[in-house]
Chain A
């Protein structure tokens, strides 16, 4: 493979209260792939993303983003947390949440100005949320909230995007809108890593997949490794899925 490696994970182990939730993960994510992380509940999918982004401290192992530790490469990385991880009754507007995507490049103390506002508005337009920019976030539907999160990640203007279940609780229209944006990101040469639950859509949406269940089961191109064998190894039961080859 002559592709550049965007994310390199070596021997990563993460534990909560000394109980490992991720065990000795080795994983390379090539630049420019649209990768799904799949696995059963409690497999450590979200934890993997949080450990990559330094939100959770691993007890062993290392992560590098284009060859350097994450703390030195923050500006290359955008993050979409799970929608349920924040309080949507927080007193603010959709535009303000999207603006938060620009805080990383601003650094401490400096305030967002016209340039940041423009970036945020452009990002909102890309996800079709411009009309809702002044809407209170509590007044948005689940799908709209997810789009706001996606716009915020776009406002981070990164090379690598990590998304934690962006399709959770959204309707079909929003799902298509989101997947189109993900595909556009890939077209623009970005790397996108998505925690995904719906196995049916993996072959349609993604070109790369990682099977995870505390340990890494397999990683590679969807065409080569998305098969019953790996699904069974990951989910522990014979998991028949229609794979569109």
Chain B
């Protein structure tokens, strides 16, 4: 690997980490869309900042542009508070206006400004190593490495210092406010950090793909854990893994690096979405199917328990009586027989002793709807509920 290659990967990994942290809280606050708004609305801030500083990596530009991000959030809330439009509408109204101001500013000054909309939206990580920080003639490495490294450091410090405040204001804004931990302060703090991160990262990965780096790792982690700290850890991991593997995908496909990183994020999310052990789609469908069979089984056994007459218990008429499809009736009957809950004599189904006990306990569970009742059943029988 050449030096620029290593530098690009390090920058990508740092950008991913800096985005993942605010991303977790945006996802938990159901504010994923606001990151999209911020990423577009900072354009006029970047353009004006660029007029002033003539340097895309200037800290002043970053602050000016980040301010536009915070103004976006403020405007969205202001419009929403009038009660005339809903939040998503307010977001949809605000950021295109700000974005288009940026586009007009760029097109009006296109001749003297080395800045175009494509560069802002898509970024180009491959160029990042060329813009170097020179201090008294010495090469200190790529500028964006320093900028994103600084932003990451600030983000981590703020998160560690205000972890408890972030947690309580995200989970329960009412209590947070009553405790004196102002949710408004925490909200705007998070928005400021998000805005600064987006601005710092747009140069490398582009304003649009920043959204993927913020939201996808957090959304993926959310499916895998029910612990906030682990969720943050996993988000960081997914971000870094996507950044580095995305770089190599781009390398071998000879494609856009940021595009490949975002695609990798999407692929990882899809994989977890399907295969996550508890919240994954397959696990959920499997659990639903198990529960459906379980309920059918209990229904069937209750039917046997209630009806003494043989006509109601004849194996060939079962589906008519319970009004089930033949296949379903067959599955349930087989399951009951396999577990010795019923026995079949001369085509008539009988509850076994075990089946009787099971039915009685099920009844208790159904009537009381208490989880305690089903706990011992899990051990004695085969119930899948967990």
Contact = CB atoms under 8 A, between A and B. Distances in A.
Interface of A: 16-17, 50, 53-55, 71, 74, 77, 79, 81, 85-87, 90-93, 97, 100, 103-104, 106, 108-109, 111-112, 136, 138, 141, 152
A86 B30 CA distance: 12
30 contacts: A17-B83, A54-B177, A54-B178, A55-B178, A74-B178, A74-B180, A81-B175, A85-B172, A85-B174, A86-B171, A90-B28, A91-B28, A91-B226, A91-B231, A92-B171, A92-B227, A92-B228, A93-B226, A100-B171, A103-B179, A103-B181, A104-B179, A106-B164, A108-B162, A108-B181, A109-B161, A109-B165, A111-B164, A112-B164, A141-B371
Contacts of B230: 91
A109 B162 contact: yes
Interface string B158-189: 00011111011011101101111100000000
B222 interface: yes
B180 A86 contact: no
B177 A103 contact: no
Contact of B178 (A77, A90, A108, A111): A77
Which of B162, B170, B172 has the largest number of chain A CB atoms within 10 A? B172
A236 B257 CA distance: 67
Contact of A103 (B83, B161, B168, B170): B168
B174 A55 contact: yes
A223 to B, nearest CB: 31
Interface in B293-324: none
B111 interface: no
Bin the interface of chain B by size: 20 to 34
Given A91-B231, A108-B165, A97 B178 contact: no
Contact of B164 (A74, A91, A103, A138): A103
Contacts of B263: none
Which of B83, B164, B172, B178 has the largest number of chain A CB atoms within 10 A? B178
B141 to A, nearest CB: 33
Nearest to A74: B180
B181 A97 contact: no
Contacts of B164: 103, 106, 111-112
Given A74-B180, A103-B179, A104-B180, A79 B225 contact: no
A138 B28 CA distance: 14
Contacts of B174: 50, 53, 55, 79, 81, 85
B82 interface: yes
Nearest to A90: B171
Interface in B147-162: 161-162
Contacts of A97: 171
Given A55-B178, A79-B178, A104-B180, A91 B172 contact: no
A90 B227 CA distance: 9
Contact of A91 (B163, B177, B227): B227
Contacts of B172: 81, 85-86, 100
A53 B168 contact: no
A32 to B, nearest CB: 22
Which of B164, B165, B230 has the largest number of chain A CB atoms within 10 A? B164
A115 to B, nearest CB: 15
